[in-house]
Chains A and B, each alone.
Chain A
Amino acid sequence: MEKIHKPKKVFVQGPVSPQFIADAIAAHQSKTTIGAHAIFLGQIRADKKEEGTVTGIEYSAYEEMAEQAFHKIREEAFARFELTCMHIYHSLGLVPVGEISLFVFVSSPHRRAAFEASEFVVEAIKADVPIFGKELVEGGAHVWKENS
């Protein structure tokens, strides 16, 4: 049976808090067909650049196009893997080092689909979603981030 997955709001202002993640996990306790969750959390690294040490990343996005890209990734993940549900949250604005900027949460009856879907979704986000990151470094300079 084909399910319709409505576009969901992905962007959040600032970091994704640990409490938000805990609440998202708790919200799935009533979904008893799920046997496996896979969670990916992207955290801001204090990279050392020529310009100085990174203190945070300021994210911006071509929001309308990004929402469409997220929707396409969701549809594709549901088509490829046996998933019960999926949630993606990505920060906009400033996220200081050590804090979470990406939260991918996939749930499935079984672990293999959960592991594989989470990797697929994270890689697709990095490659296909028009999100831009300005790495702020100590002393006020900045460097534009580029996914490899």
Chain B
Amino acid sequence: MNIPEGAKKIVLAGNPNAGKSVFFNYFTGLYVDVSNYPGTTLEISYGEFEKNVLIDTPGVYGISSFNDEERIARDIILSADIVINVVNAVNLERDLFLTQQIIDSGKPVIMALNMIDEAEKNGIIIDIDLLSKELGIPVIPTVAIKKTGLDKVKGGIDLARIGNICNEIRLKLDPLTKRLGSQGEALLVLEGDPAVSARNGMEPGSSREEIYLARRERVNQVIEEVIQKSSSKSGFSNKLGSLMIMPLTGIPILVAALWIMYKIIGVYIAGNIVGFTEGTVMAGIYEPAVRHVVGQIIPNTSILGKILTGEFGILTMTVTYVLGLLLPLVAGFYFFLAIFEDSGYLPRIATLVDRVLTGIGLNGRAVIPLILGFGCVTMASITTRLLSSERERRIAIFLLGLVIPCSAQLGVITGLLAGIGPQYAALYAIIILAVLITVGTVLNNVLPGRSADLLIDLPALRPPRIGNIMKKTTGKTFMFVKEATPLFALGALLISVFQVTGILVYLQNLLAPVTVGWLRLPPEIATVFIMGIVRRDFGAAGLNYMTLTPGDTLVALVTLTLFVPCIASVLVLFKERGRKEAIIMWIATWVIAFFVGGLVAQVLNVFGRSSNTEGIAVVLAFFGLIAIVSRLFKRFYKTITAQI
């Protein structure tokens, strides 16, 4: 990012869901630059704000090194000239911890006390003048979604002040500040932040807990004084929140939410919308046009012509897949994900499923990378960093690569499954789930150590806000297209070259014992797997164009889902887990994919493809049995290890 001469760095900071993005959009207007923060998938927005630069930060509860969000927020805040602290008035007690930490860092701060209307509705009356006096910074009440008070914050930037630093902290801080020349850096060194200490050539301090406690005490004291009345009523959102986390009601709610998602993405988007974008627009208008234009210069039957506009052409298939087929599906998934996130439902899903995930060596928090994986496995693999132990990261990243289909793939899969009937969709889900449970349980028992426990904030439920949702959906979809297109082009090139040179047929024959003999699929399926090495969705999309029986489709989908993750994910896998572990994981996905896929094929074959219902019942029972055996294995393993 380039900061013009004389421009100030104004940073927006706050807890998750405090409403920072509304401020950002309001202040910056059109000239916004979104970029990935180096080494992460987190997007940081920069914008022009009058003559200055406004930078948004990820929502955090404090700045330290607990996760990527905090590290980024920490570095951006420490480099700020002015901080606009957006605070959720409903959770003042929690949010003020960050506020006080930023004040302690010595930065000039102005506070936007947001959602003041909701706080009043909850019976919380805040003495704003007193809050401002206690903290030593200007406090402006706002209701960001109604644009109330935003102008005052905008006009009040220059009023930002260095606030009242916690007394106990100041005594420790002053000598170090003199030495390092920066109060912010000094504070983080005292708080034992490893990265900040290292860059200042210091040993991490050991006073983190002491400082945190002093700060917490100070905040509680301020709260005591400024909150005049607090009667927490149990409203409808509280009740709904409870229903969402209790299994008896929470599971039906989750199932209903997923069913609506399936209906809209699998049936409506995959059917109607993709039918139009892919069939009418891409295959009907775009592809013939491109063939015609290219054909004027390069004959379509020449080798180059085939590579550019042939069956697997870079200009035809890649563009059709990315824009016609995947774009609507991916946007649909990110749309639902954004709703879950913005409404506060996601952490409640984490709480609901915590018990189940502890069985596979994860905790409820892991539901976030796992669900994100349904968006993009690559991105989710990076977010496994938010898990607190090495062990969990290892389990999560392997499960992501093995069993979680990404949105692009899932879209194609849902479309295909919707075409062959709900009984197959259920069967597919159960098989994948059985693999997930089995592999997770085995890993949990074989890997040394134990996993960390759940500790998660449940923000108040609220109706999702359309502006936020649209921003998240378009942002993530755009990133997807940017990331997927070059890989698709690479895949198309590879396949075209294989086709033109005859390697494709050779590979099909080479793989025939596996594909035809073991999976009982037509030999052309090898193409799908070769495409799948590049991207699984690329392979799944290829299935769309093959004529298969419902049973074959199921086998192909199961195998392809478990098959190696896309090239981008594999690169992340190597980066996150190191070469040795990554290679083991990559090979393991091959083995498991073909083993399970073949098992399904063989079982379906033995128990009559003719009578579908019976065959399905048997397969179901079979995989149910595997899941049970894996649970027993766990008990058995525990007894054995206990005896040793």
Decide whether A and B assemble into one complex: no
Q: Which residues of B contact A (CB under 8 A)?
A: none
